[in-house]
């Protein structure tokens, strides 16, 4: 058995490799959503102020049935997602689609986080 076949070790190896590539996780060496661009804003690398205004406005919150304020930098979610990034969720997506749940799948060829290879 290879060390990378043990989930916790596999996650640790992948996380260390990611740190080696991107640098400081708080202020990476490039924008993880468009690798061609520099990181211009700490944590997210992009200015999400307009997105926050849209997601937190009354009409959108009513239509989307949002239960709380949107916050781009929820450290709890960020930490949890670090450990779930390397798993295949295809079976969950299939279950959602089979139950007529609408989903949005995003990927891009210049996107480090959600690249076309992971789609």
Task: Give the total number of structural domains in the chain.
Answer: 2
Q: DSSP string spanning the chain?
A: --GGGSHHHHHHHHHHHHHHHH--SSS-SS-TT-TTSPP-STTTSS--HHHHHHHTSHHHHHHHT--S---TT-HHHHHHHHTTTTS--HHHHHHHHHTT-------BTT-SSSBGGG-
Contact of 52 with 59, CB cutoff 8 Å:
no
Clarify whether residues 104 and 60 are in a common domain. no
Indicate the pTM of the whole model. 0.50
Rounded Cα distance between 12 and 36, Å, is 27
Clarify whether residues 10 and 35 are in a common domain. yes
Rounded alpha-carbon distances, angstroms, from residue 7 to 2, 78, 81, 83, 95: 11, 19, 14, 10, 23
Rounded Cα distance between 97 and 99, Å, is 5
Clarify whether residues 36 and 25 are in a common domain. yes
The whole-number mean pLDDT for each consecutive block of 10 residues of the chain, a chain of 119 residues, reads 60 75 78 84 80 88 82 67 64 88 76 63
Each residue of 6-38: pLDDT tens digit? 666 666 777 777 778 777 777 788 888 788 888
Mean pLDDT of all residues in the chain? Answer: 76
What is residue 98's predicted lDDT score, i.e. its pLDDT?
A: 93
Clarify whether residues 113 and 74 are in a common domain. no
Q: Which domain holds residue 29?
A: 3-87
Clarify whether residues 14 and 42 are in a common domain. yes
């Amino acid at each position: 058995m290879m060390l990378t076949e043990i989930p916790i070790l596999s996650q640790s190896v992948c996380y260390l490799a990611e740190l080696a590539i991107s640098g400081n996780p708080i202020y990476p060496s490039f924008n993880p959503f468009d690798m061609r661009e520099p990181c211009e804003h700490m944590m997210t690398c992009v200015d999400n102020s307009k997105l926050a205004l849209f997601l937190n406005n009354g009409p959108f919150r009513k239509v989307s049935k949002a239960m709380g304020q949107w916050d781009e930098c929820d450290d709890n979610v960020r930490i949890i997602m670090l450990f779930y990034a390397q798993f295949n969720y295809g079976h969950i997506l299939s279950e959602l689609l089979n139950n007529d749940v609408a989903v949005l799948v995003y990927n891009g060829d210049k996107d480090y986080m959600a690249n076309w290879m992971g789609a």
